[in-house]
Each structure stands twice: as structure tokens, then as C-alpha cells.
């Protein structure tokens, strides 16, 4: 991953900071790609890895019959459907920088998983389909970025296909989300006739050459303004006039405004053809912020030079079918991580040994010896860890928990065969610990019939598919007639349990939830029994 820190230390007022730590932090860029389903997110993720020369050929090949799965989509369900339903981490080097790219689920049903990823990154690339513009899922994820203060770089993808005009797309961004777009690279040629990019900063033309199926890096030719005009004629003139119009209206990149979340640098490209991908990486290392202080649970900033600390943002099993192990993804917040170091698990106060630490590239892994703030490290078989947990060395620190979203879909889960009950229980516990779904129980239904609560119904499909593939358990789902979930307490539970259209459960984290049939039933109970506790949960759009 990187070389170990030098043993010499530089004294500070608070503690001893390993020499070279500040330089290593400055080299890190940790970001996520967010988009609506089918905007090309996983294809872009792989194109970025291709340009960093981590892979020799992209997996996305034109034509349905020849299409391969991307390196970041490892689950069989993802390969079959061509969508991402889990988050994965990719780490690679680019121009003396260490890039930590966390790929997120594209489907809205997995917005909770995406939210967890966004707690672990310092910037985001917002991917927009050139033909469709801003879509509902993109808007929701942008609002999460805005709420968390995450600066956003905008990429208009699929410019090799027919689409809308560039000025119309930028106007939509400004009008609908209040973010001022500041183009860095402007397209030469209309959507569907992608010839190259006008480099707004350096005032030159970058012309791309297609490769077979877009499987390899597209060659670039850098041309002067005069040469560009001679070659492209009116298309070049139009590109210059449009970009000049935006600059004259004040839409020029300003780093301070970008980091404040007021503007967004814009790049046009085609992930499928590998056009504009190198420019995205350059923008990330030039403009995206390196890791910085992160507030702990009490609101105090944890400096990157403080002793080691990390937050768990994702737990995933089943990535390695040969070993069936469980991987906890941690984002290093401060200090230097050294494999084998004994740290403390903040939630239990117990020591935790980090002997099996790995860096992840899709489904592939390699042992990591050292990691720095911003790095994402996988801890193998970390059964005690769950999303939102904190690990630390030296004095105790704990970071804010990651909230669970309000579920909107509910099903009873049953094993088809009673002889598989032990495997069934292990599978349920596994899905619960990863946060794939929320597991609800009560005395009436018992452990043999837990209730699954999900943000979207596709989460149920993932549970069924993984139970069969990883545990050999055939399971069936029986939908429940509830539409809402509210937090309640032990004092309110007995009376709520007597109400028609209400059932009370306890979630695995100890939180009591009342499931209600519909909003009208909820309104009636709140009006007639105002003293009962019925608190809203975090909504997926928050």
C-alpha cells in the first residue's frame, strides 16, 4: 500500500506525530461516485482504475452479448442484472497520489448503504446521464452530500450518445439544486458526436481517438486553439463561444467556493469510451480536499495527526467464496495504522487485534502493512464490528453512530426446510450484522420467523439470493401489511400492541419499533393516544 512511516518523530504540543504523516495525508484523495441507476457509475469506476493502470482492460464491453461484469461488481446478482447493489472499495496510485474510491450501490433500494459510504469520504463525483439530466436518486444523494459538507465534482457522462445541450444541463443543475456549475472541460461536438474537450483552464483542445469497444485507454492529442479551429471548424467555435459565455457570467472555478459547497467543477465525458476519464482523475487530485479533522461524538474535531482512530462504515461477507469470511471496511480518521497493532473497540471497550488487515481492489485483496488517514482498510473476520463502530489507540475517542433509515417494506422470513434451521439462524445473523436489512423480532413470532425491514424491496432479493448461495438455505418471504415504522418504548408498547393495525418489535440494536398499517391509522393513534411514544426515524431522503 505505502511504505511504513519513518521512526523519527516530530514533537508537538499534544502528542508525537510520525514523521512523514502530514505528507502521506496530503497525498490521499478519498471519494465516492454517486448517481441514478444506469448513469454509468460502475463503468466509470472501472475506467478510473484503467487510467490508473491498475487493470489492463476494462470489463465493460459494447454489446449485450459480449458485456462483462465490472471489477467493482462482484456479487452474482450484480453481474446478472448489470447493476450495483453493494458498495466496494478500490485503492490505487495515480500521479504520486493514493486514491481511495468507494463504489456505491446505484439502486435507490440501497440508499442506506450509499449513505454509509458517504460518511467515509471527503468528496464525491456526481455522475449525470447526458440524455436524462438530474434524476430523483441523484438529487437525494446530492442532498446528503450537502448535509455532510462534501464537495461535489460533476461529470456529464455518455456524451458519445444523443442527449441534451450542455448549456441546458448546466442550467438544470443550477436551478434544481442551487449549485453553480463551473466547467473545467467543455465538449467539442454535440451529444452523440463527441470529438474531444476544450480545456477551459489551459485554453487548448484535447482530441480523443476511439479504441476497440472502449476497452483500453483512449489516446489523447493536445492541440492549439488554431489547430483545433482548423480541424473542427464550427464545432470548435461553438464550444469556445459557450464556454466563454459561462465564464463571462462568473462560472469559473473557485477553490474556496467549491470546498464550501457553492460551486461544482464540471467535466464532460464518456466512461464507456474512456473519454475524459484522465481529466476526472486530474481534477480530483487538484481540487478535492485531502483528509481533514472529523468531529467525534461530542463534536470535538479529531485531527489527522492525533493517535490512530478509524470508523467502520461497511461490513460485507461472501466476497471470498473460498473462505466465506467477513470483511469490515474501516476509514482511517487519524494517525498511522500498522497491521497487527492492538486497538480498542469503543463500543465494547475490548481490545481488538488487527492482524488480518487487507487493502481491497474489487473482489481481490492484498495484505496491508500501513495505512493513513483517508485510507480504506478491510479487517477480516471482525465479527464484533458493525457499521458506525469506532476503533482507536491511546485515549478513548468515539465517532457518531450511523443512523438506520426508516424502513418502508416488511416481510416475514421463513426457512423452507426445518432441517436447515441452524444455517438459517447463522444467515439471518450475518445479514443483520452487515446491515443488509433490519431484523425485527417479538415474542409472538419467535426466532424462527423474524421480520425483515427494508428501505426497498430489492433488499429482500439480496437476502434470499445470498442465503441460498452462501448458506445453502432456501428461504421464502411473506409480505406484511405494514407501511410505516416509528420508534417507541417499553412504556408505550403494551397499549400499542392492543391497537388494530399495529405490531411492536425489537430491532437487533435494542430499539423498539412500532409497525403501523398506514398513515391514517398512525394519525388516529397519535390523536387518540397522544401520550404514547411514536417518533419518526431517519428518512432515506434526509
Q: What is the C-alpha separation between 136 and 35, in angstroms, rounded?
A: 9
Please indicate if the annotation marks 222 as binding a ligand.
Answer: no
Which residues on adjacent β-strands are paired with residue 102?
A: 32, 89
Query: Which positions ≥6 away from 155 have C-beta within 8 Å?
Result: 44, 125, 126, 127, 128, 266, 267, 268, 269, 276, 280
Q: Is 43 left (phi over 0), alpha (psi -120 to 50) or beta?
A: alpha
Q: What is the C-alpha separation between 497 and 306, in angstroms, rounded?
A: 49
Q: What is the C-alpha separation between 74 and 84, in angstroms, rounded?
A: 9
- Judge whether 280 and 267 are in contact, CB under 8 Å: yes
- Judge whether 304 and 293 are in contact, CB under 8 Å: yes
The cell for 46 is: 472501472
- Judge whether 488 and 531 are in contact, CB under 8 Å: no
- Judge whether 403 and 538 are in contact, CB under 8 Å: yes
The cell for 279 is: 481529466
Q: Pseudo-torsion of CA 76, 80, 103, 452, nearest 10°?
A: -70
Q: Residue 466: count other Cβ atoms within 10 Å of its Cβ.
A: 23
Please indicate if the annotation marks 106 as binding a ligand.
Answer: yes
Please indicate if the annotation marks 104 as binding a ligand.
Answer: yes
Q: What is the C-alpha separation between 379 and 267, in angstroms, rounded?
A: 35
Query: Which positions ≥6 away from 328 have C-beta within 8 Å?
Result: 312, 314, 315, 378, 379, 382, 385
Distance of CA 44 to the CA centre of its chain: 14
The DSSP element (H or E) to which 97 belongs, if any, is strand 97-103
- Judge whether 497 and 503 are in contact, CB under 8 Å: yes
The DSSP element (H or E) to which 242 belongs, if any, is helix 234-248
Query: Which positions ≥6 away from 474 have C-beta within 8 Å?
Result: 415, 416, 417, 420, 467, 468
- Judge whether 332 and 308 are in contact, CB under 8 Å: yes
Please indicate if the annotation marks 292 as binding a ligand.
Answer: no
User: Binding site: residue ranges?
Assistant: 103-107
Annotated binding site for GTP: 103-107
Amino acid at each position: 500500500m505505502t511504505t511504513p512511516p519513518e521512526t523519527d518523530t516530530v514533537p508537538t504540543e499534544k502528542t508525537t506525530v510520525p514523521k512523514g504523516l502530514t505528507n502521506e495525508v496530503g497525498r490521499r484523495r478519498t471519494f465516492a461516485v454517486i448517481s441514478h441507476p444506469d448513469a454509468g457509475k460502475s463503468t466509470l469506476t472501472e475506467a478510473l482504475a484503467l487510467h490508473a493502470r491498475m487493470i489492463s482492460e476494462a470489463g465493460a464491453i459494447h454489446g449485450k452479448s459480449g458485456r462483462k461484469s465490472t471489477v467493482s461488481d462482484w456479487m452474482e446478482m450484480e453481474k446478472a442484472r448489470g447493476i450495483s447493489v453493494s458498495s466496494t472499495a478500490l485503492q490505487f496510485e495515480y500521479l504520486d497520489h493514493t486514491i481511495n474510491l468507494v463504489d456505491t450501490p446505484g439502486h435507490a433500494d440501497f440508499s442506506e448503504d450509499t449513505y454509509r459510504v458517504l460518511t467515509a469520504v471527503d468528496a464525491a463525483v456526481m455522475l449525470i446521464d447526458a440524455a436524462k439530466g438530474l434524476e430523483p436518486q441523484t438529487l437525494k444523494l446530492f442532498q446528503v452530500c450537502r448535509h455532510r459538507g462534501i464537495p461535489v465534482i460533476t461529470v456529464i457522462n455518455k456524451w458519445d450518445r444523443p442527449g441534451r445541450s450542455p448549456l441546458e444541463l448546466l442550467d438544470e443543475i443550477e436551478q434544481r439544486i442551487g449549485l453553480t456549475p463551473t466547467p473545467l472541460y467543455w465538449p467539442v461536438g454535440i451529444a452523440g458526436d463527441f470529438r474531444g474537450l476544450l480545456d477551459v483552464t489551459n485554453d487548448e483542445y484535447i482530441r480523443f481517438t476511439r479504441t476497440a469497444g472502449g476497452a483500453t485507454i483512449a489516446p489523447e492529442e493536445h492541440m492549439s486553439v488554431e489547430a483545433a479551429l482548423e480541424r473542427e471548424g464550427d464545432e470548435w467555435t461553438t464550444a469556445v463561444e459557450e464556454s466563454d459565455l459561462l465564464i463571462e457570467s462568473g462560472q469559473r472555478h473557485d477553490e474556496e467556493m467549491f470546498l464550501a459547497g457553492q460551486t461544482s467543477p464540471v467535466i464532460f465525458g464518456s466512461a464507456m469510451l474512456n473519454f475524459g476519464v484522465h481529466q476526472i482523475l486530474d481534477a480530483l487530485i487538484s481540487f478535492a480536499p485531502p483528509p481533514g479533522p472529523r468531529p467525534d461524538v461530542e463534536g470535538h474535531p479529531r485531527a489527522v495527526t492525533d493517535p490512530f482512530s478509524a470508523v467502520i462504515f461497511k461490513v460485507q461477507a461472501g466476497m471470498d467464496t473460498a473462505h466465506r469470511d467477513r470483511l469490515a471496511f474501516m476509514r482511517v480518521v487519524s494517525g498511522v495504522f500498522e497491521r497487527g497493532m492492538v486497538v480498542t473497540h469503543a463500543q465494547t471497550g475490548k481490545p481488538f487485534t488487527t492482524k488480518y488487515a487487507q487493502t481491497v481492489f474489487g473482489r481481490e485483496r492484498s495484505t496491508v502493512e500501513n495505512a493513513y488517514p483517508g485510507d480504506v482498510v478491510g479487517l477480516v473476520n471482525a465479527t464484533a464490528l458493525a457499521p458506525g463502530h469506532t476503533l482507536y489507540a491511546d485515549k478513548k475517542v468515539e465517532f457518531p453512530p450511523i443512523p438506520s433509515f426508516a424502513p418502508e417494506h416488511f416481510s416475514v422470513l421463513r426457512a423452507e426446510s426445518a432441517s436447515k434451521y441452524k444455517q438459517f439462524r447463522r444467515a439471518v445473523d450475518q445479514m443483520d450484522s452487515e446491515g443488509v436489512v433490519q431484523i425485527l423480532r417479538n415474542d409472538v413470532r419467535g426466532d424462527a420467523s423474524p421480520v425483515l425491514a427494508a428501505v426497498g424491496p430489492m433488499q429482500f432479493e439480496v437476502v434470499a439470493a445470498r442465503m441460498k448461495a452462501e448458506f445453502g438455505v432456501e428461504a421464502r418471504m411473506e409480505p406484511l401489511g405494514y407501511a410505516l415504522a416509528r420508534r417507541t418504548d417499553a412504556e408505550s408498547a403494551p397499549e400499542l400492541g392492543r391497537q388494530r393495525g399495529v405490531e411492536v418489535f425489537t430491532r437487533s440494536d435494542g430499539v423498539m419499533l412500532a409497525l403501523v398499517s398506514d398513515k391514517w391509522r398512525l394519525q388516529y393513534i397519535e390523536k387518540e393516544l397522544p401520550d404514547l411514544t411514536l417518533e419518526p426515524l431517519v428518512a432515506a431522503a434526509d
